[in-house]
């Protein structure tokens, strides 16, 4: 189906906000503070019409390219689970003002009209979501894990997230990651981690807990942080996703 396998944590009822696997210069002040909005669509084709949907989708992507779409859209599908027929389409990262510019491009290019005329007839269900990337605590190029948050845990969660991220960066943890916070819908946070293939998912020789203990200078402090971490969430789920390069821009 595709070459690159992405491991992600995911809660499908709200939709995972998957990262695009393109390096972004996060050290730039503008990107840290403004260019952090991702746009995500989920499309579920009508029963038995996935092939027709993909054919029409490819033609629509070609149309967007011909109209110089300023966004780079990437398409993902679940590798297992009950929602393998859903297509997750994501673009990142923009500022809020960029959204106004894109709306104007959409009007001038008639991209929505092209979509309605050629693709929408094959769709049974769709969703649209936006999220805000936490670039300060992220480390590119990227990957995703998803958590449903508890009310009243924002400040404590932010503190623990910084502790874990700082430790991983300081101790050269051998993975890249990306934090993503949902803007609309339910309270949800996503941690993305990319893998080239299943073999790359093999755990490293040094456990994260050992690395954290080294960074904090105390095994007990590391245990406290790791024990506290899951207390911030209502639920955590996991799945594996693949990048559909043949459908992406």
How would you class 120 by CB atoms within 10 Å of its CB: exposed for 0-12, middle for 13-18, buried for 19 or more? middle
> For domain 5-243, which CATH number applies: 3.90.1170.20, 1.20.1280.260, 2.60.120.620, 3.30.70.100?
3.30.70.100
Region 227-245: mean pLDDT is 85
DSSP bridge partners of 6: 194, 241
The residues, ordered by sequence, that sit 6+ positions from 60 with a Cβ below 8 Å of its Cβ are: 114, 115, 118, 119
pLDDT for res 173: 87
Q: Which helix (H) or strand (E) holds 139?
A: strand 123-139
Is it true that the peptide bond before 141 is cis, omega within 30 degrees of 0? yes
Residues 176, 33, 76, 242, Cα dihedral to 10°: 0
pLDDT in tens, 88-121: 999 988 998 999 999 999 999 999 999 999 999 9
Count of CA atoms in the C-beta half-sphere (13 A) of 67:
19
pLDDT in tens, 179-232: 877 776 678 887 777 777 777 777 888 899 999 999 999 999 999 999 999 999
How is the chain split into domains, by residue range?
Answer: 5-243
Looking at every residue in the chain, the average pLDDT score rounds to 80
pLDDT for res 72: 94
pTM: 0.66
% of the chain residues with pLDDT over 70 = 80
Lowest-confidence segment of 17-21, 28-32, 71-75 by average pLDDT = 17-21
């Amino acid at each position: 189906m595709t070459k690159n396998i992405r491991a992600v944590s995911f809660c499908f009822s709200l939709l995972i906000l998957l990262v695009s696997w393109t390096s972004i210069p996060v050290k730039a002040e503008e990107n840290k503070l403004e260019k952090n909005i991702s746009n995500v669509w989920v499309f579920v084709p009508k029963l038995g019409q996935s092939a027709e949907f993909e054919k029409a989708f490819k033609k629509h992507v070609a149309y967007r390219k011909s109209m110089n779409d300023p966004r780079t859209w990437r398409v993902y599908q679940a590798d297992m689970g009950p929602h393998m027929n859903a297509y997750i389409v994501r673009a990142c990262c923009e500022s809020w003002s960029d959204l106004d510019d894109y709306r104007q491009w959409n009007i001038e290019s008639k991209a929505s009209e092209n979509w309605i005329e050629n693709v929408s007839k094959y769709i049974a269900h769709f969703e649209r979501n936006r999220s805000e990337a936490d670039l300060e605590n992220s480390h590119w190029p990227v990957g995703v894990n998803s958590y449903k948050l508890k009310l009243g845990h924002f400040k404590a969660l932010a503190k623990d997230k910084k502790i874990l991220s700082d430790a991983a960066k300081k101790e050269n943890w051998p993975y890249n990651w990306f934090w993503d916070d949902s803007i609309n819908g339910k309270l949800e946070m996503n941690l993305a981690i990319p893998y080239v293939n299943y073999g790359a998912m093999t755990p490293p020789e040094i456990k994260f807990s050992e690395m954290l203990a080294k960074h904090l200078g105390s095994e007990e402090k590391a245990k406290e942080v790791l024990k506290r971490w899951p207390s911030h969430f209502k639920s955590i789920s996991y799945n594996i996703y693949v990048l559909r390069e043949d459908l992406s821009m």
